[in-house]
Structure 1
Amino acid sequence: MDNGISEESAGGTGAQQPDGPWCPPTDVEHRLYQAGETGDWATFFATLAGTDLFVPARRDMVDADPGRVNLSPFRDPEMDGLCQAVYTRGLLPEPVAGQVHERTELGWLARIWPTSLRWLAVNPGTPVETFVPADPKAWRKHARKAGPEAQLKTVWTGHLHDELAHGMACGALLLVNNGHPWNHLGWQGQGYSEEQASLRQWWDITGRDQLLDTLRGLLNGEYSPSDWEFALRVRQALIEEYGSLPDAETWRDAAERVLLARTAELVDSTGRPPGFDLHADIEATRELIGRILRYEARFRADGILDDNAVVRSILAWDFGRASAMARWGLGARYCEVDETRNALLAAGSAGRHIYRDWAEFAAGYILGRCLHFDDEKFGSWYTEMAAVHRLLTTDTDSPWLTVPWHHPGGYGRGERESR
């Protein structure tokens, strides 16, 4: 049957069995494997019902009818009747030309399951391969009882401690908040169509060139308003010059002096009045400083900042989104695996160039998100980050506790150890 599904995704011959003990990629595969070995089918289906499932599909067919998830039956020589493959996130085959995977769940499969299909092939071609007889009625019951997965997800067989893991961990606040593994390369995200729809909705990205342009801009710190970074750099300069944290008025006055001096230099060099309202810029900067100080006070109350700490830079907001964007782009097939890897390494290098540890990076990212979305309402744009921050600073599997900030001898071109 020519359904466009590659051999690696279609049946039991696609993946080689390991020479030694098998290491499950995530907790989901571990529980499926244990349940299958012991015949604990209640746990098997409870696990399956509570996680994302991915069905293989021909890319040209999905492109012709975006958002529609179609089944792609196949025949296995050892099974009687047609089968449908589904994969859990940790065992999705690597991307191949012409094939994609669409995200779904057991409850949806139960609702649309055709009577012609005899078997559900769970992770075919892998050590946790399981062919289960079609029983949509039972699947619906399991789906109704399914509980939520853990929010912090780690791919145990992925990068855990190296430079690539560092670049991945730069996107952890966003990815963990969305319930996605922090250290996946990208094709295990929301599925092909959903990744494309998300990029279109949030970023107006519909193709490769737009994706790569956006990724370059984020890695260069061009997406956060320059006045945010300007204000923080003025304060950082005061700290370095005087060895202490300036009060609010000292900070505001210093920022005003810099703006006045820059404008005077511009007028001298051009011989023309500035093409902007200097007084409005000064007032906006003074107001911005107040907003930053109020957010920092809340950050200290919620444990995002230590008592005497301040936000060093806002650029983590761009670098963290670049880390996620590199994965989203691969999931949407707007970039290649090597491009994703290079972008992740660049995101980690950029973060290490400015920040001294995960705590500083996190505070910069959260402040950027709040200045962009929250408008001092301290609503979900903030509370979600505060909750994920607590998770990432306390869970023993968190990359912020397992991935070292510095990688001696491994700095990228142009990178140096942070001051």
Structure 2
Amino acid sequence: MATAGWGPPTDTERRRCEATARGDGDGQVAAIAGEDLYLAVPQEGQDPLPVHPDPTTGGKCLPVLTHGMLPPWQPQQFLDRVTVEELAQDWPNDTGQPAVNPGTPAAARLSATPDHRAAWLRIRAHFGVRPGGLLATHDGGPLHGPLAQGPACGAPLAVHHSVPWNELGTTFLDHATDAATLREQWSVTDPASRRQRLDQLLGGQFVPAGTQTALRERAGAGKGDADGCAPPQAEQAVLRAGARAAEVYDSWEEFAAGHALGRMPAYDNGRFGQQYAETLHIHRTLTQDPASPWRGLPLG
């Protein structure tokens, strides 16, 4: 399926499109072997793995989405995060084929016979899990201007998890994990506490135990669907974070140093251990990689 003006939003979809174009079935699986994949959470009364008509072929399929192709935010829309390994192990024999990103230019169907699923496991074992510490960009997200500057403040967290730094979408990791992070690290359990905590963070008035006060606009945007933060409110939170950073810091180099130093006391009881090394890697990635928003975006 080709659409004029469309391009793969991330490297994952780009690799899948390339494999599909050359008719490489194993390459299609390899492109997602280590990636997070997403299934729609069944509504009440639906089967655990509800199948749907394939919009391309008309047959049955189970929609499987990559992170870059998640749908726009909608109230009460929830997604489960799964892996190729989990799909291979749990796939019922009487279910239709998985359709990756159906109805989009990045669509592809995977054969799901027992032999094919065994091949998925072998490919997964060969490529392993996508490591953390990678800089990723969503080509459909904000790349310039104030709306990009805010997410750039949260780029260290995005690089840590190897998710696009500029995606203000449906979910950050997955709904359960995002909600747990907000609850455990930021005491955010509902829209009111989210707004209160965001105001405190941007005002420098809240220091959670064992963490730091870097501007983390994702506390306002990362789990918007469960906490009532619709896209307009999420964008406002991001704009506020970027503007506040520009008031405090004169450059991304200053912001980077402040972020790195602010994290040190919370790590390894003050010792320079693994978490220090991870922070140093993220710092170097964002200050040195030509694709980094800290290299291409002005601060302020």
Structure 2 equivalent of residue 190 of structure 1 = 173
Cα deviation code 1:5-30 (max 9, x no counterpart): xxxxxxx9xxxx74x23211001111
Q: Is 2:150 the counterpart of 1:167?
A: yes
Equivalent residue letter for 2:126: K
Distance in 2, Cα, partners of 1:99 & 1:329 = 11
1:198 alignment partner AA: T
Q: CA 1:371–1:195 in 2, change beyond 3 Å: closer, same or farther?
A: same
Cα distance change, pair 70–198 in 1 and its aligned pair in 2 (3 A): farther
Compute the displacement of 1:80 (Å).
6.9
Taking structure 1 as reference, are residues 77 and 389 closer, same or farther at Cα in structure 2, changes over 3 Å only? closer
Aligned-pair CA distance for 1:373: 4.0
* Structure 1 counterpart of 2:193: 210
Q: Does 1:327 align with 2:197?
A: no
* Distance apart, 1:190 and its partner CA: 1.1
Question: Residue 133 of structure 1: CA displacement?
Answer: 2.0
Structure 1 gaps of 5+ residues are 1-11, 63-68, 226-316, 407-419
| Structure 1 partner of 2:125 | 144
Bigger Rg, structure 1 or 2: 1
The DSSP-based 3-state class of the residue aligned with 1:95 is coil
> Matched residues in 1 for 2:40 and 2:142: separation?
25
Please give the TM-score of this superposition, normalised by the length of structure 2. 0.89
Does residue 351 of the first structure (1) align with residue 253 of the second (2)? no
Distance, in Å, in 1 between the alignment partners of 2:31 and 2:13 is: 9
The structure in which a higher percent of residues are helix is 1
CA distance in structure 2 between the partners assigned to 1:224 and 1:120 by the alignment: 45
Identical amino acids, percent of aligned pairs: 35
Superposed CA offset, 1:125-154 (max 9, x none):
110111222132222222211245471111
- Is 2:31 the counterpart of 1:47? yes
Match of 1:119 in 2: 97
TM-score, length basis structure 1: 0.65
Residue 387 of structure 1, CA deviation: 0.8
Q: Indicate which of 258, 261, 267 corresponds to 1:364.
A: 258
Aligned residues: 292
Matches within 5 A, 1:290-309: none
Question: Within the alignment, does 1:179 sit opposite 2:159 as a pair?
Answer: no
Is the 1:329–1:335 contact (alpha carbons within 8 Å) kept by the matching residues of 2? yes
- Give, in whole Å, the separation in 1 of the partners of 2:218 and 2:78: 19
Q: Do 1:212 and 1:335's aligned partners in 2 also have CA atoms closer than 8 Å? A: no
Q: Using the alignment, how far apart are the partners of 1:318 and 1:397 within structure 2?
A: 26
Sort the Cα spacing of 1:149 and 1:394 in 2 relative to 1 into closer, same or farther, 3 A. Answer: farther
1:38 corresponds to 2:19: no
Q: What residue identity is the alignment partner of 2:38?
A: F
Quick check: 1:319–1:347 contact (8 Å CA) kept in 2? no
Residues 351 and 385 (structure 1 numbering): CA distance in 2 closer, same or farther, change over 3 Å?
same
In the aligned structure 2, how far is the partner of 1:57 from the partner of 1:349? 36
Match of 1:158 among 118, 121, 141: 141
Aligned-partner Cα distance in 1 for 2:225–2:48 = 18
What is the CA–CA distance in structure 2 between the aligned matches of 1:149 and 1:77, rounded to whole Å?
A: 30
CA distance in 2, matches of 1:29, 1:332: 27
Deviation at 1:405, TM superposition (A): 1.6
CA distance change for structure 1 residues 387 and 136 in 2, over 3 Å: closer, same or farther?
Answer: same
Deviation at 1:324, TM superposition (A): 2.4
SS in 2 for 1:127: coil
* CA distance in structure 2 between the partners assigned to 1:190 and 1:182 by the alignment: 12
1:93-143 CA deviation, whole Å, 9 max, x = no partner?
112233221111111011110111121110011101112221322222222
**CA offsets 1:194-225 (integer angstroms, 9 cap, x no match):** 21123233333332222222112111111249
Deviations for 1:246-275, whole angstroms, at most 9, x for unmatched residues?
xxxxxxxxxxxxxxxxxxxxxxxxxxxxxx
